[in-house]
Amino acid sequence: MTDRKPVIITEEQLRAQRQYMLDIRALPDRPRTYYVVTFGCQMNAHDSEVLAGMLQEMGMTEAQTGRRRTLRTSTPAACGTTPSARLWAM
């Protein structure tokens, strides 16, 4: 087992992230739908739910199939990476 340090997000970082989400929501040409593909374990499924919530806060709705989406993201196995870091890294 590895010695992993907890991820600490400051209030300032949370405020910046919330503002960024509002900025995305205000874009006239932002993606309107999303489709999340999840690979791996239960934690990845949880992270996908977190990502979906963030995308919904940005005004997007879930597409029923990957073909009807305007934004596609995947949740690969990436131990020690936060869901928001995965989304912004794509």
In three-state secondary structure terms, 66 is helix
Return the domain boundaries, the chain.
11-89
State mean pLDDT over 49-66.
87
DSSP H or E stretch at residue 39: none
DSSP conformational letter for 89: H
pLDDT attached to residue 15: 93
The reported pTM is 0.65
Higher pLDDT, 66 or 8: 8
Alpha helices in the chain (DSSP H): 11-26, 42-57, 83-89
Element (H, E) at 37: strand 33-38
